[in-house]
Structures are given as structure tokens and as C-alpha cells.
């Protein structure tokens, strides 16, 4: 694991130390890693949303027939099976 050193004003250091104590983090590193993971997830969600909006605005209309829903469920089941 790589070490990163940052400079913080005392007020932020105290805030982080309170967060570590009250939110169940083992140490400051765990807290910062959690913040970074949350930021990564938000970025991924924003990218996905942008792609979905792009697809909706450019894509062709698909009739929502019973066959469509059946195929969608099959595709989703295959994706879930690959993740396990």
C-alpha cells in the first residue's frame, strides 16, 4: 500500500479525529479511504447516468412486449450468474 502525506489545518484534523472516534473507523486512513471510495462510487454513478441519458436520447424506441421483458429477465439472470 502506498503512503500519502497531506497537510491539514488543525480544524480539519480535529474534525477527522472526531469522525474516526464517533463513526467506528479504526484510524484516519480507514476514514479517508472510505471518503475516496464514496467519491469513486459517485463518479461511477454520474458516468452511468450520463450514459443512460445519452442512450435514451439517441436510441430507437423498443416496444415493451412480453417477449422484451422475458428476454430482459434472461439477460439479467446471465449477468447475475457470471458475478457469482
Residue 66 lies in a domain: no
pLDDT for position 36: 97
- Name, in order, each residue with C-beta under 8 angstroms of 30's C-beta and a sequence gap of 6 or more: 20
Note the pLDDT tens digit of each residue in 8-24.
Answer: 999 999 999 999 999 99
pLDDT for position 59: 76
Instruction: Note the pTM of the prediction, 2 decimals.
Output: 0.66
Q: Which of 37, 79, 47, 63 is nearest to 29 (CA)?
A: 37
Domain that holds residue 15: 9-59
Residue 78 lies in a domain: no
pLDDT for position 11: 98
Neighbours of 32 (CB within 10 A): 16
Number of domains in the chain: 1
Amino acid at each position: 500500500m502506498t503512503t500519502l502525506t497531506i497537510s491539514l489545518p488543525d480544524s480539519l484534523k480535529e474534525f477527522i479525529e472526531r469522525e474516526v472516534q464517533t463513526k467506528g473507523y479504526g484510524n484516519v486512513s480507514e476514514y479517508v479511504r472510505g471518503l475516496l471510495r464514496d467519491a469513486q462510487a459517485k463518479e461511477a454513478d454520474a458516468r452511468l447516468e450520463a450514459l443512460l441519458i445519452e442512450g435514451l436520447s439517441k436510441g430507437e424506441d423498443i416496444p415493451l412486449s412480453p417477449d422484451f421483458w422475458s428476454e430482459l429477465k434472461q439477460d439479467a439472470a446471465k449477468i447475475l450468474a457470471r458475478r457469482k
